Amino acid sequence: MLVFCLGLAASVVVCFTAKMFFAGWGRAATAGDIRVDGVPNGHPTLAFACELPTDRLQALFANPSLIDELRQLHASLSLSLIDLGSGRAAVVRQLNDAGVPVTAWLALSREQGYYLNADNSAAAAARFEAFQDWTSKNGLRWAGVGLDIEPGLQEFTSARQGHWLSVVTTLVRRYLDAGRVSRARSAYLALIRRIQGAGYPVDTYQFPFIADERKAGSTLLERLFGIVDVRGDREVLMTYSSFNPAVDSALVWEYGRDSQLVAVGSTAGDAAGGGFRPLKWDEFARDVIVAGHLSPVVGVYSLEGCSDHQFMPRLAGMDWRQSVTIPANALSTVVRLRMRIQAALWTGSRLPYLAAVVLVLEGWVIRRRAMAEGRRTAG
């Protein structure tokens, strides 16, 4: 067993290193800074996201100037439906009356994981049916439906609380569940068709690493973390540089070129509780200009953060033609990160094949030794 484990570990290292080498060979080195010459054809359409609880949501929109600012920017809102009560419906009607397009961001209870993923597809389908009833009873209008596909809140909670044995056990079980990916994709494709059949375009919100998984030809992220590689009418990659401000707008630039639409943030810190600080205005402005260069619609997480930090008036008066320079060192950091991620995904998804090769080689060595020993004994 020790020999097998050592052989498998050596195979993983060799494959990872080889994949990194060929990925680097196929990707030209960053020669220098990149200059992004503003947003062509004026400013992009901004789509703000908001997931405040209803009492705070009502307080936010009690200020009539916020709706005026949204209208001035010709912006839309993606509103998390963390409850389907009368208070939330009243805010949606207020936005409907003002002509602000609103996307219904489907969300589950915290006990169900809040975000949509492979473990709660049935609950997501039931939530859409409840949303339909709520919409009809309250006479609400929607520009579309958004599906935020992320690991459940329990995943983040277990990791933060240090329950690593439980986390590792769960990951191993999921890794070995070969049908997990196909079941989840089928369930969410059916849900997307159901939503589209009801007359709503569908946006899917994804972590940017889904682009690396596709490039690596892997399903490892889907199996381990329950994200689901499905698309509706539009896919939005959440390129939040607030998780690592040192990479500047390079994260937006690198992943934005692999996306249909781009979302930037966060202007309100980290909702998952990881302690990440919100973007400062200069950081946010750079990200949104770079995103606007790549995407006709730029998602902004979040509306409440922009309102709290007085970003809305500054957006209205921003010069979208200004250029942004992305430093070469930040670009190199993100390029190397993507190479490592893709190499890890490619290698990790092929562990069973590597294990089989190691077992065959180990069996061949044992057989050769046994044959040699037999010849010596016979002699």
Per-residue pLDDT 10s for the chain (379 aa) are 543 343 434 443 344 444 444 455 445 455 589 999 888 777 899 999 999 999 999 999 999 899 999 999 999 999 999 999 999 999 999 999 999 999 999 999 988 989 999 999 999 999 999 999 999 999 999 999 999 999 987 766 665 556 677 777 888 888 889 899 999 999 999 999 999 999 999 999 999 999 999 999 999 999 999 999 999 999 999 999 998 888 989 999 999 998 999 999 999 865 544 557 899 999 999 999 999 999 999 999 999 999 999 999 999 999 998 999 999 999 999 999 999 999 889 888 877 654 555 455 555 555 566 565 656 666 5
Domain layout of the chain by residue ranges: 1-30+349-379, 35-327
Burial class (CB in 10 A: 0-12, 13-18, 19+), 124: buried
- pTM listed for this prediction: 0.86
Q: 35-327 has which fold?
A: TIM Barrel (3.20.20)
Asked if 324 and 36 touch (Cβ cutoff 8 Å), the reply is yes
